[in-house]
Amino acid sequence: MPNISRDEVAHLAKLARLGVTDEELDTFAPQLDVILESVAKVSEVVGTDQDVPPTSHAVELTNVFREDEVRQGLTQEQALSGAPAAEDGRFRVPRILGEEQ
């Protein structure tokens, strides 16, 4: 079974450019060891000699599409009806660039 050392955790932290304290090294080493043991158990169950295809999801996903339908859109008046301000058939917004007209 895997047994990751404190020095290996420090090396991994350095590679990942993570600042890790001595206390964190003592905490992370056993936690990473448990993770590696779990991965090893899964690898034992699903070996390379079995015919199990790799998957990205436990259940197959399918997209649900609807047909595009042409339908009537909003009129200009309907679109502007909920606007806080409108002018000359357009949305009126505050000037932000200080441009002159």
Establish if 63 belongs to a structural domain. no
Asked if residue 58 is part of any domain, the answer here is: no
Whichever domain contains 33, its CATH number is 1.10.20
Domain count of the fold of the chain: 1
Q: Could you tell me if residue 22 is inside a domain? A: yes
Using one digit for the tens of pLDDT, what is the confidence trace for 37-85? 988 888 777 666 667 677 788 888 888 898 999 999 999 999 999 899 9
Which structural domain range is residue 26 located in? 6-45
Alpha helices in the chain (DSSP H): 6-15, 22-45, 76-80
79 within some domain: no
- Cα-Cα-Cα-Cα torsion 7, 8, 11, 12, nearest 10 degrees, comes to -140
Q: Which residues pair with 87 in a beta bridge?
A: 90
State pLDDT tens for residues 3-13: 888 999 999 99
Cβ neighbour number for residue 2 with a 10 Å cutoff:
12
In a domain, 59, yes or no: no
